[in-house]
Structure 1
Amino acid sequence: MKTRKIERTRLVPHTVDGVTEMVLDREHIEVPAPPRDWDHIVRTAVTVGAIILVTASLAWTTASIGDLLAAVTISVVAYAAAVAFDASWIMCMGVEWLLRYDPERAQIARRAGRWALAVSMGAVFAHGYLIADTWVIGAVGAAVSALAKGGWSMAMRVHARPLDPRTQQWVAARRAKVDGQLAMIPIRRELQRGEALVDAEQRSLTSDPDRGSADPDQSGPNPQSGSGNPAPPPNGPMTVKDAVRTAKDSGITDPDAVLRYVRKVADANAKPETVARYIRLAG
């Protein structure tokens, strides 16, 4: 039986001059060696082979199509544009892999990859046919991309984990909930930016000297006309929500003025964000 050495560490007591401390003790022991995982080795070899095929195809396609396009433009631009031909179907296969648990969306990437591969093979075939004046050279050159895509497709199948229909529906439902939560993040940010702009606009309007003062407390209550801040109700202290609604009904629109009123009649420690939320709910 094959064995292998491993290092094992443990804490042991060690005493010097009557003082004992726990120190780290290291020792090497032999344990049975696990058998080779040939499935993992073959899977790794298939993946590496697929990567080599894709890299070779990308280089070959870029060289062929770049040489073809160099007849009508400068070489740098021609070879840069040639990269797009194989890069397109390679990117589609990457998207297909990321969407492997969402068959409907993966199908779109799969179809787009096939069309991109066809375009790339056609361009390589055109280059070989025009340069060598024979269709055999063009066909052989075009087959390089097809072989690379086939090899990568096989590698994807090796790593794929197919799901049964019920599990697929469960994954789709869970993903829909998570996607909805992720989608709400930028939506909330957009709404917060919009609310901030509205608040700033309201402050600028209420602070306009031509429209009068924005703070109803500056002039103080007028006992004869009944204007000014509304008085607290006779049945006791208000809640923050009721105080905000009372202020809104009394014509107080400036958020700072509403906050001062709430702190005066309801809660002296009322938080601005709480008052702002009730202002939005009160419309």
Structure 2
Amino acid sequence: MKTRTVRRKALVPHTVDGETELVLDEYDVEVPLPPRDWDSLVRRGITVLACVLVTVSLIWTTASIGDLLSLAVIAAVAYGAGVAFDAAWILCMAVEWLLRYDPDRAALPRRAGHMALLVSMAAVYAHGQLTGEWVVGAAGAAVSLLAKGGWTIAMRAHARPLDPRTAQWVAKRRAAVDGKLAMIPVRRELVRGEALVEAERQARTAESGGSADPDRPEESADRPDPSGAGGGRRSLTTKDAVRIVWDRGIRETDPAVREIAKLVGRPVSPDTVDRYLRELRAA
């Protein structure tokens, strides 16, 4: 069995003049080498060859189609546009790889990749026909076909097929996680919207000559609503509500804003809530 030398370190007791201390000692050990993973090496080689084919195809297609388009526009623009032909199906194959565990979503980029490949091959062949070398055009078009075929085979070598039940399980778990991720920007948008509504209310209150103090509701705390509507929420200031949610153990601004809005019965300014929370943290 083949082995390799590994240097390791350990704390060992060392005594000098009757005083013992733990010191770091280095020593070598022989550990067995695992057998060579030929499958992994072959898979890695397939991936490298597929990348080489894609690179060659991209260069050839860009040169061929760029020369074709340069008949109508300047060379810099023509060759820049030539990159798009092969880059389109390469992009579709990358998306197909990312969606390999979701066959329904991967079907669209797969079909789009085939269409982009046909367009690229047709443009390369048209360049050959225009120059009077249809054989060169056909061979050049085959370069893109070989590159896509090679990358498709490489993707199959890396694929991990799922049985129908496992695929459904993965789809449900992904849907649950995607729903949580989607709610993050939605909640941020709602908080920003509530802040804008509160800012608009304060601005209109100030224009009409009323109190623009964001710490107090529109109705005075000392003079509750004579109609008795709204219970005691209208008499609660933002500062008092911040103290209540603080006592409940809420320390973050976003959840505090939501709880305070429920307590006072109106939208509150996140900046005001954050300022009071900072004061409580400092205290």
TM-score band by shorter chain is 0.7 to 0.9
Asked if 1 retains the 8 angstrom alpha-carbon contact of 2:117 and 2:145, the reply is yes
Give the Cα–Cα distance (whole angstroms) in 1 for the partners of residues 120 and 211 of structure 2: 71
Change (3 A) 1:17 1:207: same
| Secondary structure class of the residue paired with 1:84 | helix
Letter paired with 1:110: R
2:237 maps to which of 243, 256, 259: 259
Q: Among the aligned pairs, what percent are the same residue?
A: 58
Deviation per residue, 1:66-105 (Å, 9 max, x gap): 1111111111000100000000000000000000011000
Change (3 A) 1:280 1:195: farther
Asked if 2 retains the 8 angstrom alpha-carbon contact of 1:259 and 1:275, the reply is no
Aligned to 1:88: 88
How many residue pairs align between the two structures? 250
Deviation per residue, 1:180-201 (Å, 9 max, x gap): 1111111111111111111111
Aligned to 1:246: 231
Give the Cα–Cα distance (whole angstroms) in 2 for the partners of residues 213 and 2 of structure 1: 84
Asked if 1 retains the 8 angstrom alpha-carbon contact of 2:242 and 2:260, the reply is no
Pairwise mapping of residues 208-223 of structure 1 onto structure 2 (< 5 A)?
208-210=207-209, 212-213=210-211, 216-217=219-220
| Secondary structure class of the residue paired with 1:101 | coil
Root-mean-square deviation (Å): 2.5
Change (3 A) 1:75 1:16: same
Which structure 1 residue ranges, 5 or more long, are not aligned?
221-227, 234-243
The Cα of 1:281 is off from its aligned counterpart by: 8.0
Aligned to 2:198: 199
Aligned to 2:19: 19
Aligned to 2:50: 50
Which structure 2 residue ranges, 5 or more long, are not aligned?
213-217, 246-255, 268-283
Asked if 1 retains the 8 angstrom alpha-carbon contact of 2:53 and 2:147, the reply is yes
TM-score, length basis structure 1: 0.81
Larger Rg: 1
The Cα of 1:27 is off from its aligned counterpart by: 1.6
Deviation per residue, 1:242-265 (Å, 9 max, x gap): xx93146xxx5xxxx6416x94xx
Aligned to 2:243: 269
TM-score, length basis structure 2: 0.81
Give the Cα–Cα distance (whole angstroms) in 2 for the partners of residues 96 and 276 of structure 1: 45
Asked if 1 retains the 8 angstrom alpha-carbon contact of 2:124 and 2:140, the reply is yes
Letter paired with 1:120: S
Give the Cα–Cα distance (whole angstroms) in 2 for the partners of residues 175 and 2 of structure 1: 44
Pairwise mapping of residues 91-110 of structure 1 onto structure 2 (< 5 A)?
91-110=91-110
Letter paired with 1:270: I
